[in-house]
Amino acid sequence: MTHYTHTPVPTSFTDSTPLLLPARLERDVIVPQPGSVRLGSDTLSGDQARQAAEQAARDDLIRRLGIPITADTFFDDLATEMATQTGFLYGMVNLFLAEQTFVGLHNPPADSGHLIVGRTMSREHGWCPEVVKRKKALPLPNVHASPRFSGNHVVDAVGIEAYFGAPLLHQESGIVLGTVCVIDPDRRPLSDARRLRDVVLSGSDTAMRSIAAGVPTH
């Protein structure tokens, strides 16, 4: 396996940093009841109404499928497997709930000098929202290659330069439950992009097969 040199990034940030939250005690994620919308205004735009309806349908499907909404060993192992196969520092299995919720998470070693990320992040941050929106894999061997994806809060906060993600797509309903992804502070060559994309696509398939069969919770 090719070895990459990782540049350490700061392990602490100011309270104003609107990014990946530091590691913390696990907690349940409160999922709104179907159809409920927590917005600051009673008047919804067409786009807001569409997003609220999509989220309500997603929340309902996650409940009906019995998917764990807190840290789960099976998903943690899957995140670690994806990170190992790609050589990336971080791997995630991510449900789109009230927040992006990493029910599966692989971090670098605690003594590595790299940021240890927590289990939740705003639905506005990172590249996974784009994957959910497009319902397709997003390979970014160099996030700075496109201005559209370069200007992302995660780039500066965690020093991420490569991202590969794929949707958790429920085929029967067409609903995207979330994503699987790997991220790393080192960009990757274009020549390796197809292999890395295939790793996360395989991870997505594994997650969805397990969900269909009933995820073994731990």
Q: Which residues pair with 140 in a beta bridge?
A: 163
Q: Which residue has the tokens 């609107």?
A: 18
Per-residue buried b or exposed e for 71-92, using 16+ beta carbons within 10 Å of the residue's own CB = bbebbbebbebbbebbbbbbbb
* H or E segment to which residue 95 belongs: strand 90-96
Interval 71-103: pLDDT, tens: 999 999 999 999 999 999 999 999 999 999 999
Question: What is the crossing angle of helices 73-86 and 193-213, to 10°?
Answer: 170
Instruction: State the pLDDT at residue 50.
Output: 87
The whole-angstrom separation of Cα 128 and Cα 204 is 13
pLDDT, tens digit, for every residue of 199-208?
999 999 999 9
Question: What's this model's pTM, rounded to 2 decimal places?
Answer: 0.78
| Res. 106: pLDDT tops 70 | yes
